[in-house]
């Protein structure tokens, strides 16, 4: 089973803007040198540590609300999926993902949420308030430094059925 993380973003973010900003960040940081906007909107691109990523528009209107909408009021318009490559250092891949997520949050003021397959909620930003999961195994001091300031630490979880 693939290990995937998704950063969901709400309006005014669009898939095109999200892809443009991800490519710009990746090039600035030297972690996405060989991919352009159309790559991220198409088959995806690979970060230098091995993690694959792709930007996708949300299918709207949805026939039913998803957990982010029901629990946090985030109606996402697009997302970027990050998929780990098991043959590379997973910790380093996650560091690069968080670096990119922090940069995207800094550039795009939209409501957002980062989660692992709707099982583990890493962060939620709603109305400009950024809340980061309190788990230290997810958020090392180095990863926290990648995030825009200010943020709060709290227990984050999806409601159980």
Within-domain flag for 159: no
In a domain, 160, yes or no: no
Residue 112 lies in a domain: yes
| DSSP conformational letter for 158 | P
The three-state secondary structure class of 22 is helix
pLDDT (tens digit, 9 = 90+) per residue, 117-141? 999 999 999 999 999 999 999 999 9
Number of domains in the chain: 1
* In the predicted structure, residue 1 carries a pLDDT above the cut 70: no
Q: Is the pLDDT of residue 144 over 70?
A: yes
Helices (H), the chain: 15-29, 37-41, 67-72, 90-107, 141-144
Q: What is the pLDDT of residue 159?
A: 85
Residue 76 lies inside a defined structural domain of this protein: yes
Give the domain range for residue 147.
4-154
pLDDT digits (tens, 9 = 90+) for 28-86: 999 998 899 999 999 999 999 999 999 999 987 778 878 899 999 999 999 999 999 99
Beta carbons within 10 angstroms of residue 155's beta carbon? 9
Q: Is 136 contained in some domain?
A: yes
């Amino acid at each position: 089973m693939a290990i995937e993380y998704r950063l969901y973003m709400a309006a005014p973010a669009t898939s095109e803007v999200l892809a443009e900003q991800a490519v710009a960040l990746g090039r600035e940081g030297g972690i996405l040198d060989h991919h352009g906007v159309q790559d991220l909107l198409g088959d995806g691109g690979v970060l230098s540590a091995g993690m694959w990523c792709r930007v996708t528009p949300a299918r709207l209107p949805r026939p039913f609300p998803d957990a982010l909408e029901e629990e946090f009021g985030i109606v996402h318009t697009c997302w970027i999926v990050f998929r780990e490559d098991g043959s590379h250092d997973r910790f380093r891949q996650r560091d690069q993902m968080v670096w990119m997520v922090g940069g995207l949050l800094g550039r795009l003021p939209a409501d957002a949420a980062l989660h692992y397959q709707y099982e583990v909620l890493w962060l939620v930003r709603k109305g400009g308030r950024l809340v980061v999961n309190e788990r230290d195994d997810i958020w090392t001091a180095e990863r926290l430094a990648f995030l825009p300031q200010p943020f709060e630490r709290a227990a984050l979880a999806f409601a159980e059925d």
